[in-house]
Structure 1
Amino acid sequence: MTAFPTRRPAARRSRTAAVGAIAVAGALLLTACGDQTDGADGGDTGDKKTKGSEAPLFDQLPKEIQDKGVIKVGSDIAYAPVEFYDDKDQVAGIDPDLAEALGKQLGVEFEFANGTFDGLITGLNSGRHDIIMSAMTDTKERQEGKDGDKKVGDGADFVDYFRAGSSILVKKGNPEDIKSLDDLCGKTVALQRGTANEDLAKAQSEKCDKPIKVLAFEKDTEALLQVKQGRAVADINDFPVAAYNAKTSGGGKDFEVVGDQIDAAPYGIAVSKKNTELRDAIKAAVDAVIENGDYEKILEKWEVTNGAVDEATVNGGK
């Protein structure tokens, strides 16, 4: 079984595993093998259902998804090592590997569609995606569809499967001697728009005598470029992503992580609040891969076992 065989359209620019070229938003379907529900000739819907029904958790899925044999996944595929395009233009990372393992339990395929991070929940609630897997931190605001006190959407339920805090990524050698959030006061910081890291930077800026200038971008690769070129002193990033970029970008010569993890919180698989049946099936599948050891193997592969959870939880974010 080959996971994610589909390549990106030729018009899309090449991207390395760490800091490749800036990603271009757009839809791209990438298939995660589940229970290998179609045969070599592609099969038909009836054949998918028959084979899918052999998976242990197939019957827990909503009838509509059983019939389609597919779960549509929204993701911003530019966030190594959680999800990214490798140097062969194949999708790779923690979430795609986890999706493949979940597919085996549920007996359906996971199809990833690439999009900008801050539009993913809108896509979920419009029906474009069935779920979101995109290193998305589970927060009360996202659960309730709020931006501060303002209602901005229907929100989502989250199946939490990993824990990660924020980290500060700076140029190799740390020329500005950044050690903590306090050292960012009065300086320019780059980060990805619509993330918990943007909220963290804004909250810190309010504590500063001199505010932080925040440069927010659609893609984290763009934020990293600002640091590399000296237009920002730091990128605030999720810990596994920051550590991965420090290790791989420029052969480990571009960046380094400074200070401790900040405010560790759960990553969640987002599901529409109207689709509790799918939410519960996803939770059961996550628990199953934790129990059978697939989950641990995936985290070991990507060297992020310090973010492991013992069981899936629903809406555990604060």
Structure 2
Amino acid sequence: MMKHRSGKTLVGWWPIVPLLAILFALPAPAAVQAAERNDTLVVGMELAYPPFEMTDKAGKPTGVSVDLAHELGKALGRKVVIRNTAFDGLIPSLKTGKIDLIISSMTATAERAKSIDFSDPYLETGLCLLVKKSSPVTSIKDLDQPGRVVAVKKGTTGHVYAEKHIARAKVLVLDKEAAAVLEVVQGKADAFIYDQMSTYQNWRKNQDMTRALLVPFQKESWAVGIRKGNGQLKEQVNGFLKDFRARGGFEKLGDTYLKEEKEAFKKLGYPFFL
């Protein structure tokens, strides 16, 4: 038995003390989760943009961005978890802590930089046009005309460009790249605003019905999205990107996933961006 400072005897107190000591020594669930999260890097991407973000026949994530994420994880000593997320949901997921990074062919824009941070650019590209073969459109300037229809994918820089610069033509906002391409193939849209590589690939699949205007009318760069206030991780990502490029890592990724495209761009006289 123990006596309290009041002098009263406390019956049964002593056996509780060791139990309390054990309980306080155990890590709290939140602490356990935090420790586990420190060992894991959750990377968000939309697995619907081959060959950068996609799934293999078994449904597992693969592609340029997936390999890049795993190489980053190795450099940081952290296990990588790929979280498939709709493109327009990536920034909200990053801001709320559901993911640690965005590696999803995301263009670093001033507007996006208001809510998240970006790494140094790791890829240079630009917006161009996939147009229907019979269309008289030869440049972005020809698109903004009454009666014309322009397809864009929701949440992309093509969508942002159309909202800012196309006032007289109808802008058709679609959730999927394939749906936008189909609008052009079927002649329902005059053009689809998208990046160089995808435009080339979509033209290659639909050469009888489309033309690719591959000279970019707006140059862009892709970067890794990082939550604001996470300066240490940003510094680590930038260090990795610099080292990975110096070791020829991006060149190897290009050879693995984009060899045919590299050769085609060389023949066309366009610089290959990876």
TM-score (ref. length: structure 1)? 0.65
- Where does the alignment leave 5 or more consecutive residues of structure 1 unmatched? 1-63, 146-154, 309-318
Paired position in structure 2 for 1:53: none
Paired position in structure 2 for 1:103: 73
Give the AA of the match of 1:129: I
Give the AA of the match of 1:192: K
Number of residue pairs matched by the alignment? 228
Name the CA distance, whole Å, in 1 between partners of 2:101 and 2:208: 36
Runs of 4+, deviation exceeding 4 Å: 64-68
Could you tell me how far 1:235 is from its partner in structure 2?
A: 0.9
2:37 equivalent to 1:71: no
Paired position in structure 1 for 2:220: 265
Question: Structure 1 129/255 Cα, relative in aligned 2: closer, same or farther at 3 Å?
Answer: farther
* Aligned with residue 293 of structure 1, among 248, 251, 255: 248
Q: More helix by proportion, 1 or 2? A: 2
Question: Structure 1 274/220 Cα, relative in aligned 2: closer, same or farther at 3 Å?
Answer: same
Paired position in structure 2 for 1:159: 120
* Aligned with residue 202 of structure 1, among 163, 169, 172: 163
Paired position in structure 2 for 1:213: 170
Question: Structure 1 286/110 Cα, relative in aligned 2: closer, same or farther at 3 Å?
Answer: same
Give the AA of the match of 2:252: K
Greater shift in the superposed pair: 119-128 or 252-261 = 252-261
Give the AA of the match of 1:306: F
* Aligned with residue 236 of structure 2, among 269, 277, 281: 281
Identical-pair percentage:
29
Could you tell me how far 1:87 is from its partner in structure 2?
A: 5.3
Question: Structure 1 67/118 Cα, relative in aligned 2: closer, same or farther at 3 Å?
Answer: closer
Question: Structure 1 281/118 Cα, relative in aligned 2: closer, same or farther at 3 Å?
Answer: same
Is residue 131–residue 213 contact of structure 2 (8 Å, CA) maintained in 1? Answer: yes
* 1:165-200 Cα deviation digits (max 9, x unpaired): 0110123xx111221112212311111111111122
Paired position in structure 2 for 1:54: none
Q: CA RMSD in A?
A: 2.2
2:106 equivalent to 1:133: no
Paired position in structure 2 for 1:184: 143
- Where does the alignment leave 5 or more consecutive residues of structure 2 unmatched? 1-33, 263-270
Could you tell me how far 1:269 is from its partner in structure 2?
A: 0.5
Name the CA distance, whole Å, in 1 between partners of 2:193 and 2:49: 13
Paired position in structure 1 for 2:273: 307
Name the CA distance, whole Å, in 2 between partners of 1:73 and 1:101: 12
Could you tell me how far 1:85 is from its partner in structure 2?
A: 3.0
Is residue 44–residue 84 contact of structure 2 (8 Å, CA) maintained in 1? Answer: yes
* 1:222-260 Cα deviation digits (max 9, x unpaired): 22222223221211001111112222x35x555431251
TM-score (ref. length: structure 2)? 0.75
Name the CA distance, whole Å, in 1 between partners of 2:209 and 2:59: 22
Question: Structure 1 256/110 Cα, relative in aligned 2: closer, same or farther at 3 Å?
Answer: farther
Give the AA of the match of 2:61: V
Question: Structure 1 227/109 Cα, relative in aligned 2: closer, same or farther at 3 Å?
Answer: farther
